[in-house]
A and B are shown apart, each in its own frame.
Chain A
Amino acid sequence: MDKKPEWLYTDKVKDHFLHPRNLLLDEESFEADGQGVIGNIKCGDEMIVVIKVDKVKETITECKWKTYGCASAIASTSVLSELAVGKTLSQAYQLSSHDIAKALGGLPEHKIHCSVLGDKALRAAIDDYYVRSGMPDKAKQEKEHIICQCLGITDREIENAVLEGARNYYQLQERTKIGTVCGKCKDKSLRLLEEYKSKYFKKA
C-alpha cells in the first residue's frame, strides 16, 4: 500500500505523453517541405507529420507532428520525431513501428497498432517531399496488393487486422471477411497472417 501504483505504460511513454517533443503548434508558421497524414479520427487515431529537409544532404533537419489519439499514440509520434531528425531520407524511410516501440521501452501488445501509424505518416511526409521537389519517381508510395479477389481485400487490410488482434484465420475472417466467397486466397492470406504476426509480435 505504501508503494505508489505503477503507471499504465513505461516511464518513457509517460514522459513523451506528458512532455511531447517537437509538437507542431498552430500559432507558429512551419514551412514544411513534406507533410503526411495518416489515420482517421473515426478509428481513434490520426497523425500529421511534417518535415524540413536539407536538400543537399537529403537529411531531415526538422520533424514536427500532431496526433489525435491515446497516450501511446501521442508518445509514439513524439519519439518518432526525435528518431527522424538527422537521418537521411532513406534511413528515415526504414524506421519501423518496432523501432518506435523499442525507443519507448516497449508498448503493451494491444497498443502496438497505435505506434504503426507514426512511421507510416513519416513515410508519407517523405514521399510528399519527393513529389513536391520534382522527384515523384522516388516516392515509394506504399503499394497495396489485392489478395482476396472476390471481396477486394488487400494485404494492408490483413496487416491492419493482425495489428488489431487477429491471430488466426478465423479471427482474420471475422475482421475482414477475407476468403468467405470462393476461398482461393486462403493459402496466400495465411502466409501473410504469419508474416505480419512475426513482424509485429515476435518476441525478441
Chain B
Amino acid sequence: MKQEKKRRVYLDHNATTPLHPEVKKALREAMEVFGNPSSLHEFGRQARALVEKSRETVASFIGACPGEIVFVGSGSEANNAVINLFSCQGFPSCEVPTMKAHRKEIVTTKIEHPCVLESAACLQEKGTTVKYIGVDKYGKVDIPQLEKALTDNTGLVSVMFANNEIGTIQDIKEISKIVRGRGALFHTDAVQAVGKIPIDVEELGVDYLSFSAHKIYGPKGVGALYIRSGAPFCPFIRGGHQEKGRRAGTENTLGIFGLGKAVEMRKKEMAGESRRLSMFKKHLKNCIEKNIPNIQFNGHPIDSLPGTLNLSFGGAEGEAILLYLDTQGICVSTGSACASGSLDPSHVLMATGIPQERAHGSIRISMGRDTTKQDIDYAAEKLIQVIKRVRQISTISTKAKHG
C-alpha cells in the first residue's frame, strides 16, 4: 500500500477525546486562578467560586443537587471508591460497616471496566462474595440472572451504563428498580454514557454514578462521582475536609473547571452530535457490509452509543489491522489479545459469547464531535484496502483452498 500524504483521522474517542476549543479557552483563563479553595482569603474564595460553579453545572447536567457531586481524579477512582466502600473495616463515624454487617455481597457484570472488576476481585480475595452477571450476544445484562443473583445479603450492585468496547447501553432504569427493590445500593459506571446520551439520576434511580472529563472533551485527571444524598459513603482517599470530607486532597481546580466547561458544552452539542454520529455509523456500516465480506458487527444493533462501532473481520488479526490503519493515519482500537499485552482477547467480547477467533479480529471505531463525513469515507476506503492486505498475508485464504 502506498504511503500517501498523511491525513489523520482520529476514531478512538472512547479511549479519550481532544479538548473542546471552549474548554481550552476556559482553562487558559482558569490558569490565572491559583488559590487554594480552602483558603479564606480572596485568592481562595476566587478558586472556591470556580469549583462550586462547575459543581452546579455538573449536577444540573445529570439531574443531581450540587451537594451530591464529589470531584475525583478519574473515572477509575470514582469506581474504586464505590466498590471499596465494602472494604472499609470501620471508622467510628462510618456508616458502611453497619450496612456491611448484614449485607456482604457485591453483584456486578462480566463486561465491566477493569477498574471495577479488579477492585471486586481484590475484595473477593479478602472474603467478600462477588457475583458476576453474564450478558447476551449483544452485550445486554441477563436480567433474570441478575434477579436470581440478588439476595438479602446483596449490599451493592454495579452495572456499567454503556460499554466502552462494544457501545451497548444497559436498561439502567429497569435494573436499578430491581436492585433497589431488593434493598441493595446501585452504582453505575457511566464514563462512556455521560455527555453522549441523556442522563437523569433521579429518573434512573441510582445511588452512585461515576464519570470522567476526558471522555467528553475535558481535561484528563479529573472525574466526578454522584453520591445520592443519604447514600452511605466512606472516603477512598482520607485525610482532608475537601469535598465535604468525601475526597481528601487539594482540589484540582483547573481540571474541575475544565470538567464544568466540558459539561456545559455537552449540554449544547450532545443532541445534534448524537444524530450526526448515528447517521455516520449507519453509513459506515453500509459501506463496510457492501465492500468487505466475512465480517460481523458486535454490540447491540439499536441500544448502542451513537458513535461506537465494533466489528470483527474473519481471517484478519486486530493488531495487524490497527497498525496498517495507523500507517494511513487512521486511529482505532482493537479487542485482540496481541494489542493488550495479555494473551486473552477482550473480556467483553468473550462475555458476549463470540468465538475467540472473532474477538482476535475485532476493531473498535469510535467517532466524536470533530468527525466528518469525509473522515468516514476516507476511513471506509482505507479499511477496505487494509483488510484485503491483511487477509492476503493471512492463512485464511490458503486454508479455504486446501480445506
Binding site for B on A (CB under 8 A): 8, 17-18, 20, 23-26, 37, 41-48, 66-74, 110-111, 113-114, 164-165
Interface-facing stretch out of B125-133, B151-159, B186-194, B395-403:
B395-403
B327 near A48: Cβ-Cβ < 8 Å: no
A70 CA / B356 CA spacing, docked (Å) = 15
B395 near A44: Cβ-Cβ < 8 Å: no
A71 near B320: Cβ-Cβ < 8 Å: yes
Q: Which residue from B315, B324, B339, B342 sits with its C-beta under 8 Å from A68?
A: B315
CB of B341 within 8 Å of the partner chain: yes
A26-B401, A70-B336 given as contacts; is B393 within 8 A of A44 (CB)? no
Q: Which residue from A23, A37, A68, A110 sits with its C-beta under 8 Å from B317?
A: A68
Q: Which of B316, B327, B393, B398 has the most CB of A within 10 A?
A: B393
Q: Which residue from B341, B343, B398 sits with its C-beta under 8 Å from A24?
A: B398
Bitwise, B337-353 to A at CB < 8 A (1) or not (0) is: 11101110100000000
B356 near A47: Cβ-Cβ < 8 Å: no
How close is A8's CB to chain B, nearest CB, in angstroms?
7
Q: Which residue from A25, A41, A113 sits with its C-beta under 8 Å from B395?
A: A41
A164 near B343: Cβ-Cβ < 8 Å: yes
A18-B327, A44-B317, A71-B320 given as contacts; is B398 within 8 A of A66 (CB)? yes
Q: Which residue from B323, B360, B394 sits with its C-beta under 8 Å from A66?
A: B394
Which residues in A have their C-beta under 8 angstroms from that of B112?
Answer: none
Describe A's contact surface by its main secondary structure.
mixed
B323 near A8: Cβ-Cβ < 8 Å: yes
A135 CA / B353 CA spacing, docked (Å) = 46
B323 near A17: Cβ-Cβ < 8 Å: yes
Top 8 A-B pairs, shortest CB-CB distance? A70-B338, A70-B319, A41-B357, A68-B394, A42-B356, A68-B395, A44-B360, A66-B395
A-B contact pairs, 20 of them (CB 8 A): A17-B320, A20-B393, A24-B398, A26-B397, A41-B395, A42-B356, A44-B317, A44-B338, A45-B317, A48-B395, A48-B398, A66-B394, A68-B315, A69-B317, A69-B320, A70-B317, A70-B318, A74-B393, A110-B342, A114-B338
* B:353-403 near A, CB below 8 Å: 355-357, 360, 392-398, 401
* Chain A residue with Cβ nearest B324: A18
Which residues in A have their C-beta under 8 angstroms from that of B396?
Answer: 41, 68
A37 CA / B403 CA spacing, docked (Å) = 13
A18-B327, A71-B320, A113-B343 given as contacts; is B338 within 8 A of A46 (CB)? no
* Chain B residue with Cβ nearest A9: B323
Q: Which residue from A26, A42, A48, A70 sits with its C-beta under 8 Å from B320?
A: A70
How close is A81's CB to chain B, nearest CB, in angstroms?
12
A26-B401, A69-B338, A165-B343 given as contacts; is B393 within 8 A of A42 (CB)? no
Bitwise, B46-88 to A at CB < 8 A (1) or not (0) is: 0000000000000000000000000000000000000000000
A41 CA / B320 CA spacing, docked (Å) = 14
How close is A79's CB to chain B, nearest CB, in angstroms?
14
A143 CA / B316 CA spacing, docked (Å) = 31
B393 near A110: Cβ-Cβ < 8 Å: no
A43 CA / B360 CA spacing, docked (Å) = 8
Which residues in A have their C-beta under 8 angstroms from that of B345?
Answer: 44
Which residues in B have their C-beta under 8 angstroms from that of A73?
Answer: 317, 338
Which residues in A have their C-beta under 8 angstroms from that of B343?
Answer: 43-44, 113, 164-165
* Chain B residue with Cβ nearest A66: B395
Q: Which residue from A23, A45, A111 sits with its C-beta under 8 Å from B393?
A: A23
* Chain A residue with Cβ nearest B360: A44
A114 CA / B397 CA spacing, docked (Å) = 21
B356 near A43: Cβ-Cβ < 8 Å: yes
B392 near A25: Cβ-Cβ < 8 Å: yes
* Chain A residue with Cβ nearest B397: A26
Which residues in B have their C-beta under 8 angstroms from that of A69?
Answer: 317, 320, 338
Q: Beyond the given A23-B392, A37-B395, A67-B393, could you list 16 further A-B residue pairs with CB under 8 A, ordered by the A residue number?
A: A8-B323, A18-B324, A25-B392, A41-B357, A41-B396, A42-B355, A42-B357, A44-B356, A46-B395, A66-B393, A68-B315, A68-B394, A70-B336, A74-B320, A113-B343, A164-B343
Which residues in B have their C-beta under 8 angstroms from that of A113?
Answer: 343
Q: Which residue from B318, B356, B398 sits with its C-beta under 8 Å from A26?
A: B398
How close is A136's CB to chain B, nearest CB, in angstroms?
22
A44 near B392: Cβ-Cβ < 8 Å: no
* Chain A residue with Cβ nearest B343: A164
Which residues in A have their C-beta under 8 angstroms from that of B341?
Answer: 110
Which residues in A have their C-beta under 8 angstroms from that of B316?
Answer: 68
A43 CA / B356 CA spacing, docked (Å) = 7
B393 near A41: Cβ-Cβ < 8 Å: no
Which residues in B have their C-beta under 8 angstroms from that of A72?
Answer: 338
A23 CA / B398 CA spacing, docked (Å) = 12
